[in-house]
Structure 1
């Protein structure tokens, strides 16, 4: 749907990062790094962070988790978790 974007969250260096993918835009995407060593951010923490970034989940959307590998050719390599949800700009906030 028009106006919908994808927000993702992944972990790097022991920290979770939530970011909104803005395809076709130069510069950094809106993002937030959670504290190092913090467990997977809760639903409320993720929603609150999206609000601060100027976005909200699209009604009816939900977080979906995908398991990947840091080295797809090596089945013994560490697991990478990526979460994604459909979002939209909050009313009155330009993306």
Structure 2
């Protein structure tokens, strides 16, 4: 059985003041986490998130037919200031895609 890890998605404000969403795979003990950036303020669709994860070499690790269930939580932009803006964070378990499946994704793209 393949071990699952966590992918997260959150919205950020760039240096130019524009917001964007990013999805990243949490690899504990690693200095670089694979990530994909979505420009704009709209929450990426399930299909967009799945495609982004596939481009990073991962797939959602939920039972068949349950692919739409991401857990959402909130955090504050400044943990010392309860009046600061809320940051939404979505998470989902993922597993690495097998090499053959990665070749198939590349062929379709």
TM range (shorter): 0.7 to 0.9
Partner of 1:47: 50
- Runs (4 or more) in structure 1 with deviation over 6 Å come to none
1:29 aligned onto 2:33:
yes
Q: CA deviation at 1:24?
A: 1.4
Higher RCO (C-alpha 8 Å, min separation 6): 1
TM-score, with normalisation over the residues of structure 2? 0.75
Aligned partner of residue 52 in structure 2, secondary structure: helix
Structure number having the greater helix percentage: 2
> What CA distance in whole angstroms lies between the structure 1 residues aligned with 2:2 and 2:50?
21
Partner of 2:11: 11
Q: Deviations over 1:21-44 (max 9, x none)?
A: 111123x21101111x24011111
User: Any gaps of 5 or more consecutive residues in structure 1?
Assistant: none
> What CA distance in whole angstroms lies between the structure 1 residues aligned with 2:54 and 2:82?
37
Q: Deviations over 1:1-30 (max 9, x none)?
A: 75211000011111101000111123x211
From the CA coordinates, give the structure whose radius of gyration is larger: 2
Partner of 1:85: 92
Aligned pairs, number: 91
Superposition CA RMSD, Å: 1.7
